[in-house]
Amino acid sequence: MVNSMPALIALPVWATVLIIVLVVIIALLVILYIAGRKLQQRQIEQKQQMDAMAQVMSMLIIDKKVMKLIDAKLPDEVMAQVPKLMRKQKMPVVKAKIGPRIMTLLCEPKVFEVLPVKKEIKAVVSGIYITEIKSVRGGAIPQPEPKKKKGLFGRKK
């Protein structure tokens, strides 16, 4: 009688496990690559839409905070469009006076760092999202401070 065992079973157990693990890892990498490309294309489309809707507005910055979207008192229409997981995430929120109205706006994190409080600025706004600062009345746009590296104990805090 001829033994008709497959070649894979004839390998040692560790080699079989190694091959299976490598196949699973390669499959995961392919899936992540495809998903990443789709997300990147979606991000490019959203950026184009934001640029198309962008307009320059003059506003007085009253206050800025990093807070949860639930606590930010955004309009109900906006909160209905925000995914449920994002509602509890902390975002940079700016309270500004645009013309006679006081509005709550979201802000780009890089812009939030240099945004001066209690000053009038001209900013590029797309919907309720501040994307860029054009100018600051009575001075230049402040530059972001370089972040210092935290030591071992600084990270623990």
3-state class of 109 per DSSP?
A: helix
Q: Which domain holds residue 21?
A: 8-53
Q: Is the CB of residue 94 less than 8 Å from the CB of residue 64?
A: yes
pLDDT digits over 40-62, tens only?
999 999 889 888 888 999 999 99
> What is the pLDDT at residue 142?
67
Residue at 156 is within a domain: no
pLDDT exceeds cutoff 80 at 9: no
pLDDT exceeds cutoff 70 at 7: no
> What is the pLDDT at residue 83?
85
Q: For residues 142 and 90, give the distance between their C-alpha atoms in angstroms, rounded to a whole number.
A: 24
> What is the pLDDT at residue 30?
97
Q: Is the CB of residue 59 less than 8 Å from the CB of residue 98?
A: yes
Are residues 59 and 132 located together in one domain of the fold? yes
Q: For residues 147 and 156, give the distance between their C-alpha atoms in angstroms, rounded to a whole number.
A: 17
> What CATH number did the domain enclosing 77 receive?
2.40.50
- What total of structural domains would you count in the chain? 2
Residue at 148 is within a domain: no
Are residues 42 and 70 located together in one domain of the fold? no
Are residues 59 and 129 located together in one domain of the fold? yes
For range 10-32, the mean pLDDT: 93
Residue at 39 is within a domain: yes
**Residue with structure tokens 């409080």?**
117
Residue at 155 is within a domain: no
Mean of per-residue pLDDT scores for the chain: 85
pLDDT digits over 60-76, tens only?
999 999 998 888 888 88
Residue at 3 is within a domain: no
pLDDT exceeds cutoff 60 at 2: no
